[in-house]
């Protein structure tokens, strides 16, 4: 039941790992109400109650393949799907003026351009990771990189479950961009995304990545600054996807009434006020 002041939320990819987590979190959080849930055409769960699909009580919201109706019914839509689907969803958000929270990773440059164009018509919050603590980690990594020069080698290590399809993770790349920003360089110019065989000495100023996959790990990330005689390690470990869901709802509440634009979790958390 929608209360008068509830924020009406739609969830895409409603039966996936993040979709069901989002639905559970919405149902447990005062001030939010699930009003629509969508999946791809032909999905076996179409027509089922979204709350029951998520393992909870019925919410009187059927899983549908009508994403246009989802955007029309919602104040904010939460999207943790696949890049090609997210691009389509951004167009729907722009068409209806619905705020969109994007947690999808692996988005290519041309798809990012489509999100930027959609952001000219509605408020979009995009982040490689919605966890509040992970975004704080990114902020700290940027600050550390600004203070520690190239005498400190930077390595970013991440581990995820065996089913994750993109590597390095979107969060690892986000951490890399934060470090690069702190050092005043472009990540693409200094990234080392894999080493095998006789690679030679490590390049000064490089930002290295290592990706591990196995088991049911939700997400572990470390940024390592290593110099002669000392090492600084900034680490975050997530044991539940609820951390992403809580952050997504924080972003959804923040996006209410915001002018069109492509925002980040740094905007949501107002990191600019800390500097």
Annotated catalytic residue within 8, 43, 121, 164: 164
List, as one string, the DSSP characters of the chain.
Answer: ---TTPEEEEESSTTSHHHHHHHHHHHHSTTEEEEEEE--TT-TTTTSBHHHHTTS---S-BEES-HHHHHHH-SEEEE-S-HHHHHHHHHHHHHHT-EEEE------HHHHHHHHHHTTTSEEEE-S---HHHHHHHHHHHHHHHHS-TTSEEEEEEEE-TT--SSS-HHHHHHHHHHHHHHTS-HHHHEE----SS--SPPTT-EEEEEEE-TT--EEEEEEEEETTEEEEEEEEES-THHHHHHHHHHHHHHTTPPSEEE-HHHHTTGGGG-
pLDDT tops 90 at residue 131:
yes
In a domain, 2, yes or no: no
Percent of the chain whose pLDDT exceeds 90: 91
Residue pLDDT, tens place only, 153-193: 999 999 999 999 889 998 999 999 999 999 999 999 999 99
pLDDT given at position 272: 77
Number of domains in the chain: 2
Domain match, 33 and 91 both: yes
pLDDT tops 80 at residue 150:
yes
Annotated catalytic residue within 139, 160, 221, 236: 160
Catalytic residue list contains 96: no
Which CATH number covers residue 151? 3.30.360.10
Domain match, 159 and 103 both: no
pLDDT tops 80 at residue 274:
no
Enclosing domain of residue 84: 7-126+241-274
Domain match, 35 and 83 both: yes
pLDDT tops 70 at residue 1:
no
Catalytic residue list contains 160: yes
In a domain, 57, yes or no: yes
Residue pLDDT, tens place only, 189-246: 999 998 889 989 999 999 999 999 999 999 999 999 999 999 999 999 999 989 999 9
Q: pTM for the whole thing? A: 0.85
């Amino acid at each position: 039941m929608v209360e008068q002041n509830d924020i009406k939320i739609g969830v895409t990819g409603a039966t996936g790992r993040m979709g069901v987590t989002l639905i559970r979190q919405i149902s447990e959080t005062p001030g939010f109400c699930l009003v629509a849930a969508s999946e791809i055409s032909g999905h076996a769960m179409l027509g089922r109650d979204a709350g029951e699909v998520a393992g909870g009580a019925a919410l009187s919201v059927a899983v549908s393949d009508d994403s246009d109706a989802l955007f029309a019914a919602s104040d904010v839509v939460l999207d943790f799907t696949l890049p090609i689907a997210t691009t389509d969803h951004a167009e729907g958000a722009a068409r209806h003026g619905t705020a969109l929270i994007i947690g999808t990773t692996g988005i290519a440059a041309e798809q990012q351009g489509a999100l930027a164009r959609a952001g000219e018509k509605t408020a979009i919050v995009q982040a490689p990771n919605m966890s509040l603590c992970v975004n704080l980690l990114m902020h700290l990594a940027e600050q550390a990189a600004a203070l520690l020069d190239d005498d400190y080698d930077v390595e970013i290590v991440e581990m995820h479950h065996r089913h994750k399809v993109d590597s390095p993770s979107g969060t690892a790349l986000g951490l890399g961009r934060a470090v690069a920003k702190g050092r005043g360089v472009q990540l693409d110019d200094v990234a080392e995304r894999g080493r095998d065989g006789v690679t030679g000495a490590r390049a000064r100023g490089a930002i290295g990545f290592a990706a591990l996959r196995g088991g049911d790990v939700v997400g572990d990330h470390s940024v390592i600054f290593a110099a002669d005689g000392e090492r600084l390690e900034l680490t975050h470990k997530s044991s539940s996807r609820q951390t992403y869901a809580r952050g997504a709802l924080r972003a959804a509440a923040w996006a209410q009434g915001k002018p069109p634009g492509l925002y980040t979790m740094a905007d949501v958390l107002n990191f600019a006020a800390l500097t």
